[in-house]
Amino acid sequence: MSGRLVAVVGPSGAGKDTLMEAARAALAGDPGFAFLRRVVTRPADAGGEDHIAATPESFAAMREAGEFALSWEAHGLLYGVPRAPLEAVLAVGGTAVANLSRAVLPEASARFPLRVLEITAPLPLRAERLASRGRESLEEVTRRLARQAPLPAGLDVETVVNDRSLDEGVARVLAGLRAA
């Protein structure tokens, strides 16, 4: 395996999805980068990231069949990174980019060459972004903002603070991805 997995992490409301979609568009012509779509037990039309929708039952069947390189549960949903596309990118020396949970980073680090791209933003800005989504109640937003586990020690981490314009945020993310 000669490629690298870049795990994108960050607290809710940091702007990960927006920045990653813009970075995906900017790197669309670069064969060295692949942005992996997660399988999520969320409807396809729920908004946010471009994901592969699954029911809890179909997700469990995929996990049992070994179709995920990594899988976890967070915020009442199940998430999985499909094995085949990740392994294909790594086999040819490419950089695979995936939105991961902090909780799965130790496993990812043990199994793949890993770099972590942490995207964050100041708490008031994150609260404003979450409230504007309209997907959760104020109580749910408050609980989501209170959750943030520290990054595991010993990882190769690049931190991007997303507190300026979209263009500046995207430039910072692209620099972090290219440095991987």
Q: What is the CATH number of the domain that holds 108?
A: 3.40.50.300
Report the distance separating Cα 159 and Cα 174, nearest Å. Answer: 12
Cβ atoms of residues 54 and 37 within 8 Å = no
Judge if pTM exceeds 0.85: yes
Per-residue pLDDT tens digits for 82-117? 999 999 999 999 999 999 999 999 999 999 999 999
Residues near 2 by Cβ (< 8 Å), separated by ≥ 6?
90, 91, 92, 93
Q: Is 13 annotated as a binding residue?
A: yes
86 burial class (0-12, 13-18, 19+ CB within 10 angstroms)?
buried
Report the distance separating Cα 77 and Cα 151, nearest Å. Answer: 21
Q: Is 10 annotated as a binding residue?
A: yes
Q: Is 122 annotated as a binding residue?
A: no
Q: Which domain holds residue 50?
A: 4-178
Per-residue pLDDT tens digits for 17-53? 899 999 999 999 999 999 999 999 998 887 677 899 9
pLDDT value of position 150 = 86
Indicate whether 180 pLDDT > 90.
Answer: no
Quick one: residue 114, left, alpha or beta (phi over 0 = left, psi -120 to 50 = alpha)? beta
- pLDDT bracket for residue 6 (50, 70, 90): very high
Cβ atoms of residues 112 and 67 within 8 Å = no
Q: Is 169 annotated as a binding residue?
A: no
Question: Which two tokens mark 123?
Answer: 């708490």
Q: What is the mean pLDDT of the chain?
A: 92
Split into its structural domains, the chain has a count of 1
Q: Is 44 annotated as a binding residue?
A: no
Q: Is 17 annotated as a binding residue?
A: yes
Q: Is 50 annotated as a binding residue?
A: no
Q: Is 149 annotated as a binding residue?
A: no
Indicate whether 134 pLDDT > 80.
Answer: no
pLDDT value of position 1 = 60
Indicate whether 80 pLDDT > 80.
Answer: yes
Cβ atoms of residues 126 and 148 within 8 Å = no
pLDDT value of position 151 = 93
